[in-house]
Amino acid sequence: MAEETTTGARAAAKAAPAGQRKRRTTAPRGRKTCAFCAEGAKAVDYKQVDVLRRYITERGQIRPRRKTTLCAKHQRRLALAIKRARFMALLPYTSEHIRIYGG
Ligand SMILES: [Zn+2]
């Protein structure tokens, strides 16, 4: 009788599942989140200012990858294209430039 109660208690303890918590840190991905991959673009053109402008912040900073949702390859090429566009004075370096030249 005594044995039965101890085994019963053990079984109850085992039945309780160990803390299984699945937390998603990233949104569930569809097929392609990278806009450049989706349209099949190989290079990012620094002359396409309207495209590049989507990937910079109000202050003229390049958006981080978690915000742009680009793949590593295209994020690198985008960053390079933005830097080229800045050099060609197509995009601003800082918010100071936006203030003076109106973005
Ligand atoms: Zn890509």
Q: What is the pLDDT along the chain (103 residues), one digit of tens a residue?
A: 555 555 555 555 555 555 667 666 655 556 778 999 999 989 999 999 999 999 999 999 999 999 999 999 999 999 999 999 999 999 999 987 777 766 5
Give pLDDT, residue 36: 95
Give pLDDT, residue 25: 62
Query: Which tokens go with 61?
Result: 């900073």
Please give the distance, rounded to the nearest whole angstrom, from the Cα atom of residue 80 to the centre of ligand 1.
14
Please give the distance, rounded to the nearest whole angstrom, from the Cα atom of residue 32 to the centre of ligand 1.
8
Query: Which tokens go with 51?
Result: 């495209």
Q: From the options 4.10.640.10, 3.20.20.70, 3.40.50.1100, 3.40.50.150, give the CATH code of 32-103.
A: 4.10.640.10
Distance CA 46, CA 19 (A): 50
- Write down the residue that tokens 């019963």 correspond to: 8
Please give the distance, rounded to the nearest whole angstrom, from the Cα atom of residue 70 to the centre of ligand 1.
6
Please give the distance, rounded to the nearest whole angstrom, from the Cα atom of residue 59 to the centre of ligand 1.
24
Pick the closest to residue 71 from 22, 24, 31, 13 (CA basis).
Answer: 31
Please give the distance, rounded to the nearest whole angstrom, from the Cα atom of residue 95 to the centre of ligand 1.
28
Give pLDDT, residue 99: 75
